[in-house]
Amino acid sequence: MTASSPALTSRAWFGKVSAALILGFTASLALTCLYTLLSGVKDPFFDARGQIAMWMIAPLWSGFLSFCFLFRTGARAWGWLFLANIILWGAYGAARII
């Protein structure tokens, strides 16, 4: 290990996991809503695209939960996931207007 690389520790896990639980869920919801809007799903229960939209939130959310540990601190996880939420919900709002 070099002097410039920080040691891997588990002391900031609560901030990282809480960011992924809360903001990862809202980002997953935004991605699902954006997919539903852009794919033109009319009836989510009887359409294959609707079923994909209904079931894609779990893999997305677990992906956020898995990758939240790549952030160095909990504050960075909160910051980047908050920024991702603003971008995703902004894209969803823009797509609804257009």
Give the torsion through C-alpha atoms of 28, 33, 39, 43, to 10 deg.
Answer: 120
- Alpha-carbon span 96 to 40, nearest angstrom: 11
Nearest in space to 72 (alpha carbons), one of 4, 1, 6 = 6
For the entire predicted model, the pTM comes to: 0.85
pLDDT at residue 6, rounded to an integer = 65
Indicate the pLDDT class of residue 50, thresholds 50, 70 and 90: confident
Mean pLDDT (whole number) for 78-98:
97
